Structure 1
Amino acid sequence: MGGGSEGYRGGVDTPFDTLMESVDTPLVVVTTAAEGTLAGCVVGFHAQSSIDAEGYSFWLSKANHTYRTSLRSAHFAVHFLTTEDLDLAERFGTQTGEETDKFSGLDVELDEHGVPVIRACPNRMLVDRVAVLDDGGDHVCVTTRVRSAASSGPFTPLRLSDAAHFEPGHDAEERAVSP
């Protein structure tokens, strides 16, 4: 998960940090599964990427267990968080899947591809990977096609600023440049 200057570089704000803090992105939880391994993380880098066919893209940190699991998966769920979901964001944004079962105690159903769908998040999409772009940075872009979408109606999203106090499950120094 990203954040202000402390989340990115651990130092003084740069002009880039200031600009990015002003964006205050809504947060989502991306989940996936591969070979019986469930994974999920909070994502702040994501956007609609096509209208026809419906496409969505998100960026995964190379430091995350979810990224490593995603290399063996073609299917994902994108859960849009509301202001009521701070605890869920903390669970998926401050713990690492290498050490913790983030799904333990959650009401989760597995879709037809084994991807965990969090029932407490009615605003979500099930998506299929189209491509992965690795430009050498600390995140990779996963482009997808939307298989299905569900919404309970208008909601107030949980934003990056709401979670700025979180300590990420991995330090910035752990963000690998290669898998």
Structure 2
Amino acid sequence: MAGSDPSPTEQAFQRIVAELGEPMLIVTTVAGDGERSGCLIGFATQTSIHPPHFLVCLSQKNHTYGVALRATHLGVHVVPEAGEAIAELFGGSTGDEVDKFARCAWRDGPHGVPLLDDCPSRLVGEILWRRDGGDHDAFQLAPVFAEYGGTEAELRFEEAKRIDPGHAP
């Protein structure tokens, strides 16, 4: 029931996934009309080795979600451990109110997808399909471009959870 206290199973599930230490990622995109958007995410995984596929999940309440629905490609950036400022920008403000790209260094990547200078490990993927996943939608991507920026550790959920979301949960 919506608004009720979580069940013991839900509480245990939240503790388990919190301990997984998932890396924080920033998804960027551009719609056909040129509108850009980006957000901090924590739900993503590789789904196939051959062919290579990667899945990202976007909150349906997020500005980036609306732009992604009109896009053909998404950029996925690994936030480095020292990237708290870029994580705060893309996770703590909403594209409904702020032009995040006016506040950071970036360049146009393949298919016009913004590539963030502060996140040198990144990929651009063609959106193969989208599925409803509850309060998030899953976007399956086929990489068309990737850059590996080195072995620097990534920012983890534990370090990023202090960021107040730019939109209501």
TM-score (norm 2): 0.91
**CA distance in 1: counterparts of 2:62 and 2:146, whole angstroms:** 25
String of CA shifts for 1:4-48, please: whole Å, max 9, x gaps. xxxxx8x77811211111112100100001111100000100011
**CA distance in 1: counterparts of 2:35 and 2:27, whole angstroms:** 14
Query: 2:37 matched to which residue of 1?
Result: 39
String of CA shifts for 1:98-136, please: whole Å, max 9, x gaps. 00011113221112422111122110011110000114x
**CA distance in 2: counterparts of 1:82 and 1:111, whole angstroms:** 19
Residue in structure 2 matching 1:168, options 161, 165, 169: 165
Unmatched 5+ stretches in structure 2: none
Q: Retained in 1: the 8 A contact 2:94–2:166?
A: yes
Matches within 5 A, 1:134-173: 134-135=132-133, 137-172=134-169
The AA in structure 2 aligned to 1:129 is I
Query: 1:115 matched to which residue of 2?
Result: 113
Q: Retained in 1: the 8 A contact 2:86–2:118?
A: no
Q: Give how far 1:52 is off.
A: 0.8
String of CA shifts for 1:121-166, please: whole Å, max 9, x gaps. 110011110000114x100000010112111221211000001111
**CA distance in 2: counterparts of 1:112 and 1:84, whole angstroms:** 26
**CA distance in 2: counterparts of 1:160 and 1:61, whole angstroms:** 16
* Identity score, percent: 33
Q: Give the RMSD, CA atoms, in angstroms.
A: 1.7
The AA in structure 1 aligned to 2:11 is T
Unmatched 5+ stretches in structure 1: 1-8, 173-179
The AA in structure 2 aligned to 1:146 is P
The AA in structure 2 aligned to 1:152 is G
Matches within 5 A, 1:1-179: 14-34=11-31, 35-135=33-133, 137-172=134-169
**CA distance in 2: counterparts of 1:122 and 1:70, whole angstroms:** 22
